[in-house]
Amino acid sequence: MTQLPDAGTTAGRAGARSPVLLGLLGLVGFAGLFELLPRIGVLPSEYFPPTSAIATALADEGQRPEFWVAFGQTIETWIIGLGIASLFTYALGANTRADDRELAMTIAQKRMESLRTIPFNTQTRMVEVSSGGLKATIAEGVTETVESAGRSFIVNTQIQDMSTVPMGEPDAGAPTSKTFRVAVTPATATTGFETVILNTQRSTQVVGIN
């Protein structure tokens, strides 16, 4: 028979492994170590003062207005530096992704051009896109992954019917105009700004059977 662990013991172990508790224990241990090492001569106290001496000096400095002025200036400089670094990182990433966007535009244009070359007639308007037709897709479109220049891109093609042959006419209900949407996104994209979207419309030349 398997003996289940005591609930109190399990809870105690879970508490002992808490990241917050472990972090606090690490800080206390670090402070204690730097209190001890300078006092026993392992570290020179003129360069590594004990933790208690550092805390006392910090408390004394905290009572001086000049300290808080200098502290505020330090924080301000830190924030400005962080902002500059963030802008630089963003600009670097944008330039790095520029090639991906250019390739995405090329893929989107080729896909849209291939859809334009398909005749819009009674033979193609009800044939699936994958089979060379122009049949309306589901609302979410058809998604596939293509490779270009060693990079992966997610291509989404949407075809929707805009108008149909009126009731009572030959071929009633058949689509006479459609909208086309092609969206290409680099597989490594991190924002929606990297997606290239092209839209167009097409219609049959003759309403009804043609």
Query: What is the C-alpha separation between 161 and 47, in angstroms, rounded?
Result: 78
* Burial environment of residue 112 by CB neighbours within 10 A (0 to 12, 13 to 18, 19 or more): middle
pLDDT at 137: 94
What pTM was estimated for this model as a whole? 0.55
Residues of the chain with pLDDT under 70: 1-17, 93-96, 205-210
Of all helices (H) and strands (E), which one includes residue 133? none
Query: What is the C-alpha separation between 105 and 184, in angstroms, rounded?
Result: 7
pLDDT at 43: 86
User: Are the C-beta atoms of residues 133 and 126 closer than 8 Å to each other?
Assistant: yes
pLDDT at 5: 53
Query: What is the C-alpha separation between 116 and 190, in angstroms, rounded?
Result: 31
User: Are the C-beta atoms of residues 138 and 131 closer than 8 Å to each other?
Assistant: no
pLDDT in tens, 196-209: 999 999 988 655 44
Whose structure tokens read 């902002």?
Answer: 83
pLDDT at 191: 76
User: Are the C-beta atoms of residues 156 and 143 closer than 8 Å to each other?
Assistant: yes
pLDDT at 184: 96
Which domains are present in the chain? 19-95 (no CATH), 99-203 (3.30.1300)
